[in-house]
Chains A and B, each alone.
Chain A
Amino acid sequence: MAAALLGGVTFAPAAARASGLDAPIVGPGDAGPTTADAASVQWNPAGLAFVKRPQLLLGAGLILGRVTYQRERIGRYQTPDTFQFKTPLDPANIDASKTGFTEEVGATPIAPTGDAFLAVPVHERLTVGLGVYVPHAAALSFPADGAQAWQLREAFIVASFITASAGVRLTDRLAAGLGISYVTGVAELSKLQDFASLDEFRGAFANDPINQPNDFGPDAPTEVRELDVLSRPISVKRALSHGATFNVGLTWQTTDALTLAAAYQHGSRMRYVGDFAIDMNDPLFTQDLVSQGLQYKPLLQGDAELTFRLPRRITLGAGFQASDAFRVDGFVQYVTYSDVDAFVVETRSPDLAQPKLGIGDRVKVRLPRDWSDTIWVEARAQYRATSWMKAWVTAGYQSPASPDSTIDVASPDGHRLIGGVGGELEVTDGFSLLGEARLQGILPRTVTESDHDLGNGTYGMFLAALGGHLRFKF
């Protein structure tokens, strides 16, 4: 049963892939699917084919954020220090104070970021590239005793790509590119796991020898959730993932002024393997029901493995050089987050086994997510003021992946508005300084249809990314 609670944490790494927690900045601000620079490794490897000189991009930045959540309890709850496991609730056990809005909680992530891209023409038609970058990241720390604790206390989730690419010009104006990526990730998180939501827990109580019909399980009503004794702190640590994926792209310089691009980023099966620890140090689990076959160690530890697929991305872009000084770029990206319908987690530990209750040392759990495909549109206007300086402004929008039914504080997702400014200063012919400020925020999102009242409330998120790159051309 304890193993099953890992099912409850699987959403967190997934959330790192949700649009709400995409890293706000990857590569220099003037890069995109239609541009030709070293950052094409990430955007569209076909763009590499139009890189004329070897190029190195080294970037660093700082991400500042503020994620807020004010939970609204719409359901009915029982007093947390009771243990009624079957509705209807005894009126004496109804917690009249547990309703409405709770105190707002917030997380203020501050994190550095960085990337490095290299493009080297090896032939007049062939350029190879290499990139190391972090397209997905999240670092959240909410109060341990906040109303969101059953969703998340802390999370640190990163997915990094190391990509080797090649772009080849098929004709003077048409190029194709391919990139092969090694994807590595790390996930750590902590939360309060509500055992009432676990199917294994329902079964353990419903079947021999306890034989008590109960309302526990994934569809448990609010009346039996968030009880003190069943809310067990859990952490997942050192969960590492290794995978591979690829991207391909086409770039077509239709005219000297107009460039069209199409890119496809394949998904990847991520398999995070790490450790979990659960505080089971409550007499209910350690001693009071031993005769019924329930006895855990006070601190339960073991291996956790969670698997899911990274979504696929299809990007269509266009860039138009309106004049020598003015250029506009834009793209539309379609992300198949609907690939993520659920997450599967398997936990292993000899200490999990409760033979009398039919629980083995290995439990596999499926957690529905039911995410939606998303659209990301973004446009950029770029103006070269002098031969050594240019500037740009960016505006964009990302649609949310998480539906109201499954959203929670680990994935503060919503309609995201994006804006940014940046500029490049060419110090020498071979060396430029680039800087950008990029802001993102979701429109305040109030949710009232969260499954089981887990994620109802008002979400807010604002991210600011300040970054700079050094561009070397050789």
Chain B
Amino acid sequence: MRRALCLFAAPLLAATLSGCVTEVTLDETPPTSTLAVGESRTVELRFLRFDVEQFQQSLTLTDLKALPTRVLQDTWLLDLDMSTLVQNALQQVAYLPPAEAHALAQPARNLWKLLNLTAESTDLRGTRLEPLLGVGKAVGLPPSLILADLAQVGENDPLISTETTAQAVLSNVVATHPNAQFRRGPVNVDHPDGLYLVTPGSIPVYLADVVDSFASLAERFGPAPAWEEGAPAHPGFVVASSPVSAATDAFRMKVKVNLNALPYKGVDATNATVASVNSTGGQIENIFDFDRPDWLSLEGLAEDLKIGELTMAIGENDGFLPSGDARDPLPYGNSPVWETPRWEMEHLLASAGFARAQALTEHCSVYAPQGTVEEPFEAVNVCVDGTGWVDIQVDPSVVLDEPPPPPSYFWDVLLEVAQVRLHDGELAEGAADVEITVRDVPVGVSTETLVTSIRDNIQGNPSALRGVAEQLNDNTAGDADFYYYQTAEGEDFLYFIAPEDLRLDAEGNPVREYGYQHPGFYADADLAEKISSREEVDGDRAHEKVAIPVGTSLFFEDDGGAVYRVDAGEKPSLHKAALTLTRIR
């Protein structure tokens, strides 16, 4: 009748026509009030796949900067080998012209001297080798010759190369820093604490470093508490750093992925509403096609990565650490330096000496006195054995003011010499903490190496990009307690929510605690018999899951402690599930 009236009225009243055809409006919104105890609601979930192939995301620096800080900070790209950087920095110090070196602060100037220490320049005064001066005087030999022969170098060659020193710095200062020992990464079965080992002598580089030009270098590698409780804090080794522009304005990070771009549909049991759970993370192991070279490309990285200005620090022990005088305990001997923290200067020097000793071959150098002495007359015999133990024997016929130096390890010899030199300028013990500032130091890694490293790392551990991938496909909505999953074979499952599924805020932090006391699904309301497991389904081992053929009833507890029964009803269609939730308590 209404339509009839419309037709009749149309010619004259067209302007007022309305309501002849049912207007599209939205369906009534399902109730969203909290499910009361005893109340039931039925929710329909679908498992819809939007399988995209070679889906490309191209990210500029601006795009990356828009990602949550937490995600940037957690996205590990590579472990950057610091050896070249440290070596370059030490060489820059060592090669300073004397005039510039003398302008340095006294501790830095002393370090400069140490880095340039040769047998010729070694000042043995005040050390246990000082008697060598007397030996030399007695037999007419320069002590520098004895020292050089001992170290198997020329008299004007460095006793310890900067390479060796750099390696000692890496091993003792860099590699002992907590943030160079472990890095953050995805929490999973293999890494429940989310910590991953860092390659020794390297520092982990995160996407945040690329984005903010390593702005947090000093913060991350400054003073830091140890991972182990009770262990001493690390004083850090980076005092300040200027920005390191790893990416140019032309930077583009392009990834191509194959994935189901749609989220899983789940239920927030509190009010029995449908929620969405980002599915990207669950697929992360399989989304990259590593057979294609374009699965990841990084364009616009800086060609010559270098640090404009870097101030590094190495502190010393507050006391003088005597060198050892016994072989035991092997292999270092009995100097207390080995009990000190590895990052302290004395320990570093001892380590460098120890490393240097490993390059020595077992040998003896025999010296006859200058002049007309009948051969063979072994006035001085300096030997070093395969353990680095140095023994200086002087023929009793040689008249000395004081006995020759006692035997000791090679590194003990150097440690004492170095300690004394560190305090030149009348520096008191504890006042020789070194800070050195170097400029325009090449990091020593090529762009190609960077890219290769990043690609290799992600290929070996795709989950490193999980956070970024989830942000690029950010479709989590609501706070599901579980979600519906269907296998390729059409078997229906319910997956209980895992910590990594939680919705994130703008900073990338979960919006709620993972407060589930009994995660998983149970056969009874008392949650005594668990019927779900983490058994692998389609590669997933992270979730408690259970198959739900039609007619299944199960129970679970939400993060508020409420217990629900779930009844799987007749399937509305092939890829849908109808679940009736009843709050039990």
Contacts and interface: CB of A to CB of B under 8 A. Distances in A.
Contact of B475 (A110, A278, A288): A288
8 contacts: A81-B48, A82-B575, A83-B49, A240-B17, A279-B26, A287-B477, A289-B262, A291-B475
A210 interface: yes
Contact of B23 (A210, A237, A289): A237
Interface of B: 3-4, 6-8, 10-12, 14-15, 17-18, 20-27, 46, 48-57, 261-263, 265, 274, 276, 471-475, 477, 488, 490, 573-576
A74 B125 CA distance: 104
Contacts of A279: 24-27
Interface string A209-234: 11110000000000000001100011
A230 to B, nearest CB: 11
A132 B24 CA distance: 32
Contacts of B26: 279, 281, 298-299
A186 interface: yes
A209 B21 contact: no
Contacts of A55: none
A212 B274 CA distance: 28
Contact of A137 (B7, B17, B21): B7
A228 B572 CA distance: 12
For B4, B10, B17, B472, the residue with the greatest tally of chain A CB atoms inside 10 Å of its CB is B10
Contact of A291 (B3, B276, B473): B473
Given A158-B11, A278-B24, A238 B54 contact: no
A287 B21 contact: no
Given A289-B261, A291-B474, A277 B52 contact: no
Given A190-B21, A288-B50, 12 more contacts: A79-B574, A81-B573, A84-B51, A109-B3, A139-B7, A160-B14, A162-B11, A238-B18, A240-B15, A288-B261, A291-B471, A299-B25
A-side binding surface: helix, strand, loop or mixed?
strand
Contact of B474 (A81, A209, A229, A290): A290
Given A158-B10, A160-B11, A92 B490 contact: yes
Given A110-B4, A112-B7, A288-B475, A235 B21 contact: yes
A143 interface: no
A139 B55 contact: no
Contacts of B46: 81
A188 B25 contact: no
A186 B14 contact: yes
B55 A211 contact: yes
Given A184-B14, A235-B22, A291-B473, A139 B48 contact: no
Given A210-B52, A235-B22, A134 B11 contact: yes
Contact of A160 (B10, B24, B471): B10
Nearest to B280: A291
Contact of A156 (B6, B11, B475): B6
Contacts of B261: 288-289, 292
Contact of A155 (B21, B48, B57): B21
Nearest to A299: B26
A211 B53 CA distance: 9
A111 B49 CA distance: 46
Contacts of B25: 277, 279, 299
B56 A82 contact: no
B229 to A, nearest CB: 41
B362 to A, nearest CB: 67
A306 B3 CA distance: 22
